């Protein structure tokens, strides 16, 4: 008999479990980057979950693969001051998020606004050619997302859209 507190048997339970983990230990992120050749600004979207429990990250990995049929990225951090190893699992990139984020955002509770903003960005970027500079709306989304996340790394509307 499956443990009712662990994911692995029921898709709706697994989705709720994953959304709960994102709510508690996760973030919806747009990282500011410039293309290395064209110097055009773009934002790299991701959902990241950070925890010091290898089992939790392993369960997230299983659920993400099973529900969305995409492979997440897993990073292992060096031991912290308390001696614990940190783990991070990320769903990154436009295509992976375009596949999974509509489902996650629909069921999101405490970080619903962040999920909806990231979904809007991902949906907008799926309709433009790769390499297209970000729009003013994309910048507004990044600003709003960082404010909701209480990020110390601020973005302002006067951010250069292209490096010289």
Residue 159 predicted with pLDDT over 50 = yes
Rounded Cα gap, residues 34 and 47, in angstroms? 20
Residue 67, CB-side half-sphere exposure with 13 Å CA sphere: 29
Work out the number of other CB atoms within 10 angstroms of the CB of residue 113.
Answer: 14
Work out the number of other CB atoms within 10 angstroms of the CB of residue 52.
Answer: 16
Convert the pLDDT of each residue in 128-150 to its tens digit: 988 788 999 999 999 999 999 88
pLDDT at residue 79, as a whole number: 77
- Delimit the domains of the chain by residue range: 11-148
Convert the pLDDT of each residue in 46-72 to its tens digit: 999 999 999 999 999 999 999 999 999
Superfamily of domain 11-148: Homing endonucleases (3.10.28.10)
pTM of the complete model: 0.85
Convert the pLDDT of each residue in 87-119 to its tens digit: 999 999 999 999 999 999 999 999 999 999 999
Rounded Cα gap, residues 89 and 57, in angstroms? 6
Residue 7 predicted with pLDDT over 70 = no
């Amino acid at each position: 008999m499956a443990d009712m507190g662990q994911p692995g048997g029921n898709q709706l339970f697994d989705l709720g479990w994953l959304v709960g983990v994102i709510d508690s230990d996760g973030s919806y992120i747009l990282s500011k980057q410039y293309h290395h050749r064209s110097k055009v600004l773009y934002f790299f979207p991701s959902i990241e979950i950070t925890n010091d429990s290898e089992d939790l990250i392993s369960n997230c990995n299983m659920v993400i693969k099973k529900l969305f049929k995409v492979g997440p990225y897993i990073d292992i951090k060096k031991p912290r001051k308390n001696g614990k190893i940190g783990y991070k699992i990320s769903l990154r990139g436009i295509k992976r998020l375009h596949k999974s984020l509509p489902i996650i955002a629909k069921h999101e509770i405490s970080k619903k606004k962040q999920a909806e903003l990231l979904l809007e960005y991902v949906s907008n970027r799926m309709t433009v050619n790769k390499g297209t500079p970000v729009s003013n709306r994309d910048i507004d989304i990044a600003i709003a997302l960082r404010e909701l996340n209480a990020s110390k790394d601020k973005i302002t509307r006067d951010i250069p859209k292209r490096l010289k």
